[in-house]
Structure 1
Amino acid sequence: MNFEIVKQQIEYAARKAFLEVYEKHGAEGVYSFALYSDEGAMTVCPAANTLKVMENADEDDALYFKYEPAEWTYEMVEANREFDLICTQLREELKKHDDDDLWFDGFQAKLYSTCIEVLEKLKNENFFTGITGKDIFLIFTVSDYEFEKKDLKDLIIRLNDNEYKSEYLNWMATWGN
């Protein structure tokens, strides 16, 4: 699989998804965007959330709902055809290497790093702030999978040069306490 092509496809789909979410829900205060995958590396999907949705969050769990893409309102809702094409390609590639665990580990790592690179590229181009006029919280996550705490911290620092980074890292410091 040519990951340079996949990277271009993910970037195009991410741009389109964010623009569509913002067009439909920008008045709600879009503050976040994520790409996420699954442990089997079969999917890449977008997610976004708004400040309006967060107004109703329970105070005790507010940070969890603010920063956990699986809880965001606008999950897998835009650029459906583009993301479906990416997911189909991933599944087809996985079928070719069904019982090769070593190959899979490299494939999974490359897919995850590609998604992170796309988010970082869009951040560095000021894609999100250029549209919203505000900082946007960015994250890559994997459903049913936990990153090592250090890796997650590094990811948050890499993707966020804003107040969200500090709040997220302070929240992380409370985990397990």
Structure 2
Amino acid sequence: MRTRLVGVLRPGPCRAALTGALLGALLTACGDSGSTSGGDFKPNGSPTTAQASPTTPTSTAPSALPTEQVNQTVLQRYLEYQKVYKRAYEQNDPTELATVAVNPLLGQVSKDVERTKAKGQIWRFTNVSNPKVYARAKDGATVYVIDCMRTLSGYRFSATTGKRTAGGTGDAFVYRTALRYDAGLWKVSDSVRDKKC
């Protein structure tokens, strides 16, 4: 599948933050590392094999990475968002969402979780996901994922009695989701439900 470039959704502090993060990393790399070598090049072993986890912030600009690496990271973060989204509804606690989402979606989902909690309900569901990267912004700071999300079942339960109050089998819809590079991490910023799939 060929990834197509699209215009940026909205200009904002993302580019400035990305530039600042990159500049900070360059300045840190040029700073004193505590070495007493006097600047001489003296390799003393093999490179480390430790890799950053998908949730560890990196200061490398997404446009500086190979497209396949960015796509893989974005899809991992998208799937992590789906797990955190599910936990937020199961536990009626949206606090963990900030690790995988930014506004406007963060605010929308957090309010919905709080409304569900205020009704004394818990929402449990099972989804099957098949996400693919389908586009990216020209500046590389936003990547778009398309997903045919199938809800196998979704039920609401009373938080006090545990009895099922609503729900049943679900449908499958196409979701188009934007992930934005924010403070060194890819986070979901917007999602739109489209036609059935």
* TM-score computed with the length of structure 1 as normaliser: 0.29
**Hey, which of these two has a bigger chunk of helix by percent?**
1
**Hey, which of these two has a bigger chunk of strand by percent?**
2
User: Using CA pairs below 8 Å that are at least 6 residues apart, which structure has the higher relative contact order?
Assistant: 1
Task: Please tell me whether Structure 1 or Structure 2 has the larger radius of gyration of its CA atoms.
Answer: 2
